[in-house]
Amino acid sequence: NAGVTQTPKFQVLKTGQSMTLQCAQDMNHEYMSWYRQDPGMGLRLIHYSVGAGITDQGEVPNGYNVSRSTTEDFPLRLLSAAPSQTSVYFCASSYRPYTEAFFGQGTRLTVV
Amino acid sequence: DAKTTQPNSMESNEEEPVHLPCNHSTISGTDYIHWYRQLPSQGPEYVIHGLTSNVNNRMASLAIAEDRKSSTLILHRATLRDAAVYYCILRPHLNTGTASKLTFGTGTRLQVTL
């Protein structure tokens, strides 16, 4: 049972490039979320989804797009990378909104 | 969202109990108290949660004050592997999308020494 899988683990982008961070879960969870964590800070919510076809913005959505075409996958797209998006990104999923959330191992992104 | 307050850091000796406090004076009736921890270079990991009664699981115990305005995470015998940042988070027990959001503060960094 893999849980929540994020790829890639590390990525370096140039300013202005676009890319997609992948997140997949095999637990049939309806609820999925993306967070970012900057040095010395707690996690901040970027976008979340309550099921296939339904997404909503979190605390810091600017510069990011999401879509949810399947229950398993919840990719995060950076449209035009900026140095301010240098961070560690975590994907999470849960069965119900109030139940235990499972997190991936994170993607460390550097934008130069 | 209701706010939680935790000490920035705590230290413990290995094999001794650790009590990690959390204040949440504005907690509402539907809020559960959740604890997560984040080991170095890893994603957060669920530890325990509770509503009113004290809770135990294989990782820890959660003691909740009678007025629910504070709680304490108890690690019965700290090990070096317990060195992490511990987050106390309030989550409404509602079946809505917004309830799925986890609001992380800066947490308590626990150092465990030999």
Kindly report the nearest CA distance between residue A94 and chain B, in angstroms: 8
Mean pLDDT on A63-81: 97
Kindly report the nearest CA distance between residue B96 and chain A, in angstroms: 7
Question: Is A95 an 8 Å CB contact of chain B?
Answer: no
Largest CA distance in chain B: 45
Q: Which residue has the higher pLDDT, A104 or A97?
A: A104
Burial class (CB in 10 A: 0-12, 13-18, 19+), A35: buried
- Render pLDDT for B27-86 as a digit per residue (tens, 0 to 9): 998 899 999 999 999 999 999 999 998 999 999 999 999 999 999 999 999 999 999 999
What pLDDT score was predicted for residue A56? Answer: 93
From B108, which residue of chain A is nearest by alpha-carbon distance? A42
What pLDDT score was predicted for residue A49? Answer: 94
Question: Is B105 an 8 Å CB contact of chain A?
Answer: yes
What pLDDT score was predicted for residue B112? Answer: 97
At residue B9 the predicted structure's pLDDT band, cuts being 50, 70 and 90, is: very high
Cβ atoms B4, B21 nearer than 8 A: no
Question: Is B65 an 8 Å CB contact of chain A?
Answer: no
What pLDDT score was predicted for residue B1? Answer: 59
Chain B neighbors of A106, CB-CB under 8 A: 41-43
Chain B neighbors of A98, CB-CB under 8 A: 32, 91-95, 99-100
Pairing of strands B84-92, B108-113: antiparallel
Q: Report CA torsion sign: A45, B89, B39, B11.
A: positive
Of A45, A97, A103, the CB nearest to B43: A103
Question: Is A82 an 8 Å CB contact of chain B?
Answer: no
Tell me whether residues A98 and B43 touch, CB distance under 8 A.
no
Quick check: A42 pLDDT over 90?
no
Alpha-carbon gap, residue A30 to A26, rounded angstroms: 11
What pLDDT score was predicted for residue B99? Answer: 74
What pLDDT score was predicted for residue B106? Answer: 86
Mean pLDDT on B96-111: 86
Of A31, A42, A97, the CB nearest to B104: A42
The conformation of residue A73, written as its DSSP 8-state character, comes to: B
What pLDDT score was predicted for residue A2? Answer: 76
Tell me whether residues B106 and A56 touch, CB distance under 8 A.
no
Of B36, B42, B100, the CB nearest to A31: B100
At residue A61 the predicted structure's pLDDT band, cuts being 50, 70 and 90, is: very high
